[in-house]
């Protein structure tokens, strides 16, 4: 697999939210906020006993969650990375993004940011370092770190678990054809936000994570993927798709035909416009000012 591809193709638009290259420049920025998913014991002790890290959380969300779970000042967990001695692959260059494996972790009495982060990375190494993943990565002409990077994109982009294999195939097809990935999720990562509304101005962002301007994979994973996303990354569904858009919940359309994709995008945009109009009418009907 060629990861740094030649000059970008003129064919554009991939993602489920790509419809929103709207010239107005308006952006709805839903900044990701970490909310620790904690559990307490049945005897009423309010000290949390475990911490759930969901699939697809970014490292910054994990850091914030650990800070809250351990009642530490904001930023404590992020600062602890340097002394945590995490067993990361060389390609990661000390950045644990992609290797803070999503799972439920016990919060022992002497838990620290270092012990929790190490637990997460060790779990990722067990999940990603086995023979099936290594063989799957080699079969697709990539190393495990690149597979984790693709899995993170799949985790962020797929509307459902059933779509993961198809999204992975779009990534491979674009890389193999020398096309930019053009994934909104990579731009969202660079801007530390989560939104379906990406503008033309956003796609001009000067960042190594701007997959509209830069060829190949982003320099690191963009989230912490789960096992299903990794399975999709090393065993993508067979198909010739180059584009996809989630027209409405439960209706993601994949195609290799640009004209068909444009029609799907137009339908997506119309659905979004209808939803905005409906919300405006509901607010006016309730006496609230429409935004």
pTM above 0.85, yes or no: no
Residue 201 burial (CB < 10 Å; 0-12/13-18/19+)? exposed
Give the C-alpha separation, 12 to 179, whole Å: 9
Give the C-alpha separation, 163 to 155, whole Å: 10
Q: Lowest mean pLDDT of 204-213, 233-242, 276-285, name the range.
A: 276-285
Q: What's the confidence (pLDDT) of residue 125?
A: 97
SS3 content of the chain, % helix, strand, coil (to 5): 45, 10, 50
- Kindly state the tokens that stand for 196: 């379906």
Q: What's the confidence (pLDDT) of residue 242?
A: 98
Kind and range of the H or E run holding 127: helix 113-128
Cβ count near 185 (within 10 Å): 25
pLDDT, the chain, mean: 85
Residue bearing tokens 């494996």: 101
Cβ count near 8 (within 10 Å): 15
Give the C-alpha separation, 45 to 25, whole Å: 49
What pLDDT, in 10s, does the model give residues 96-138? Answer: 999 999 999 999 989 999 999 999 999 999 999 999 999 999 9
What pLDDT, in 10s, does the model give residues 21-65? Answer: 332 222 233 333 344 565 555 555 567 899 999 999 999 999 999
pLDDT-based confidence at residue 279 (cuts at 50, 70, 90): confident
């Amino acid at each position: 697999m060629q990861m740094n591809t030649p000059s970008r193709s003129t064919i554009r638009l991939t993602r489920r939210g790509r419809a929103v290259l709207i010239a107005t420049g308006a952006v709805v920025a839903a900044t990701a906020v970490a909310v620790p998913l904690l559990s307490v014991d049945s005897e009423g002790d309010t000290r949390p006993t475990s911490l759930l890290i969901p699939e697809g959380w970014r490292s910054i969300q994990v850091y914030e969650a650990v800070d809250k779970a351990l009642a530490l000042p904001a930023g404590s967990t992020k600062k602890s990375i340097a002394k945590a001695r995490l067993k990361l692959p060389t390609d990661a260059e000390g950045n644990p993004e992609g290797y803070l494996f999503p799972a439920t972790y016990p919060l022992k009495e002497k838990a620290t940011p270092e012990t929790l982060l190490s637990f997460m990375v060790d779990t990722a190494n067990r999940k990603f370092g086995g023979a099936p993943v290594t063989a799957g990565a080699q079969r697709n002409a990539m190393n495990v770190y690149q597979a984790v990077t693709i899995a993170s994109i799949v985790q962020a982009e797929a509307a459902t678990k059933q779509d993961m294999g198809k999204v992975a195939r779009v990534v491979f097809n674009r890389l193999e054809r020398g096309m930019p990935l053009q994934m909104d999720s990579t731009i969202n990562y660079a801007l530390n936000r989560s939104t379906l509304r990406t503008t033309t101005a956003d796609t001009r962002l000067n960042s190594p994570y701007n997959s509209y301007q830069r060829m190949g994979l982003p320099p690191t994973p963009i989230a912490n993927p789960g096992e299903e996303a990794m399975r999709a990354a090393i065993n993508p569904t067979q198909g010739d798709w180059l584009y996809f858009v989630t027209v409405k919940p439960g209706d993601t359309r994949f195609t290799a035909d640009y004209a068909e994709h444009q029609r799907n995008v137009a339908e997506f945009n119309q659905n979004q416009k209808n939803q905005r109009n409906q919300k405006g009418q509901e607010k006016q009907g309730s006496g609230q000012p429409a935004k």
